[in-house]
């Protein structure tokens, strides 16, 4: 007869199952639906093997699959996906903050470790970090209970001339973009002001700290920001030199 603790713990999932659920979650969050072909593309596998795996995931109660409507996570599947995402993002935060990894080198490590680390290790890492709310790329870290703040943000490309904003988030999947952003000090928490914008998709001129920097529109569209509120601007003007409160304060 199984013990109470054994009955309460969720069954361990295989690495492919965790990767599928995570990919479906990310597609759902980004586009509202996950087509089988998009899942195949995201995981770089043949559509035929996706079909087989989705059938198994549906039989285990992780997804609902209706022809022509794509795949949808059930509450059980969503919970499992968020558990893997929590592990991934805590690992990235720990590698960056405690072990000094640069932010462009943590994603691949976390992709491997997210399947191997025990829940106990992850919770100890989270506690050691003071239970961070966002990872080094600004992605929200789901709580252990599966609550996550999936707000969408504007991007630098949407700012008006003269408008200021805090950098909040960028995808973790492009190391060369991350290296470049670190070079120009454009990381979560950085205060950015749009100085000018050339017409017809021309370059965008930004002030980041006391540096002026021109970036292309495709880069601008990938950098998510939260505009500074009028109250924050007033505070910045009255307390010279001191940065106003950040929307999501975190250490680098
Ligand atoms: Zn990552």
In tens, the pLDDT along 181-197 reads 999 999 999 999 999 99
Domain that holds residue 104: 86-150
> In this predicted structure, what is the pLDDT of residue 236?
59
* Same domain flag for 37 and 65: yes
* Same domain flag for 163 and 146: no
Query: What separation in Å is there between the alpha carbon of 110 and the centre of ligand 1?
Result: 6
Number of domains in the chain: 3
Query: What separation in Å is there between the alpha carbon of 150 and the centre of ligand 1?
Result: 16
Query: What separation in Å is there between the alpha carbon of 195 and the centre of ligand 1?
Result: 31
Query: What separation in Å is there between the alpha carbon of 158 and the centre of ligand 1?
Result: 25
Q: What is the pLDDT of residues 111-158, one digit of tens each?
A: 999 999 999 999 999 999 999 999 999 999 999 999 999 888 999 999
| CB-CB contact of 60 with 83 (8 Å) | no
C-alpha angle with apex 237: 236 to 238, nearest 5 degrees? 95
Query: What separation in Å is there between the alpha carbon of 93 and the centre of ligand 1?
Result: 10
Query: What separation in Å is there between the alpha carbon of 43 and the centre of ligand 1?
Result: 14
Residue 190 inside a domain? The answer is yes
Residue 9: pLDDT band with limits 50, 70, 90 = low
Cβ atoms within 10 A of the Cβ of 45, count? Answer: 16
Of all residues in the chain, what percent carry a pLDDT higher than 90? 77
> In this predicted structure, what is the pLDDT of residue 83?
96
Query: What separation in Å is there between the alpha carbon of 123 and the centre of ligand 1?
Result: 18
C-alpha angle with apex 194: 176 to 251, nearest 5 degrees? 55
Mean pLDDT of 53-61: 95
- Domain CATH number, residue 63: 1.10.10.10
Least confidently predicted of 98-107, 208-217, 222-231: 222-231
Query: What separation in Å is there between the alpha carbon of 103 and the centre of ligand 1?
Result: 9
Percentages (nearest 5) of helix, strand, coil residues in the chain: 45, 15, 40
* Same domain flag for 31 and 98: no
Residue 80 inside a domain? The answer is no
Least confidently predicted of 31-40, 53-62, 199-208: 31-40
**Which pTM value belongs to this model?**
0.85
C-alpha angle with apex 171: 165 to 172, nearest 5 degrees? 125
Mean pLDDT of 44-53: 92
Query: What separation in Å is there between the alpha carbon of 171 and the centre of ligand 1?
Result: 8
* Same domain flag for 223 and 172: yes
- Would you say residue 251 has pLDDT above 80? no
Q: What is the pLDDT of residues 142-153, one digit of tens each?
A: 999 999 998 889
Query: What separation in Å is there between the alpha carbon of 241 and the centre of ligand 1?
Result: 34
Query: What separation in Å is there between the alpha carbon of 52 and the centre of ligand 1?
Result: 27
């Amino acid at each position: 007869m199984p013990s109470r603790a054994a009955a309460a713990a969720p069954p361990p999932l295989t690495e492919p199952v965790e990767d599928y659920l995570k990919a479906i979650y990310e597609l759902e969050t980004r586009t509202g639906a996950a087509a089988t072909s998009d899942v195949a593309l995201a995981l770089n596998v043949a559509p035929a093997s996706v079909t087989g795996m989705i059938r198994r995931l549906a039989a285990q109660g992780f997804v609902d699959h209706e022809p022509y409507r794509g795949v949808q996570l059930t509450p059980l599947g969503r919970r499992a996906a968020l558990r893997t995402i929590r592990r991934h993002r805590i690992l990235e935060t720990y590698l960056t903050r405690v072990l000094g990894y640069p932010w462009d080198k943590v994603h691949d490590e976390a992709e491997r470790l997210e399947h191997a680390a025990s829940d106990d290790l992850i919770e100890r890492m989270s506690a050691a970090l003071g239970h961070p709310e966002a990872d080094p790329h600004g992605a929200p870290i789901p709580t252990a209970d599966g609550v996550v703040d999936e707000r969408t943000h504007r991007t630098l490309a949407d700012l008006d001339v003269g408008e200021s904003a805090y950098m909040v988030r960028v995808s973790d999947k492009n190391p060369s973009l991350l290296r470049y952003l670190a070079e120009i000090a454009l990381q979560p928490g950085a205060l950015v002001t749009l100085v000018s914008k050339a017409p017809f998709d021309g370059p965008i001129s930004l002030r980041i700290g006391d540096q002026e920097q021109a970036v292309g529109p495709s880069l601008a569209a990938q950098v998510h920001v939260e505009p500074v509120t009028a109250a924050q601007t007033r505070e910045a003007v009255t307390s010279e030199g001191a940065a106003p409160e950040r929307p999501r304060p975190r250490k680098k």
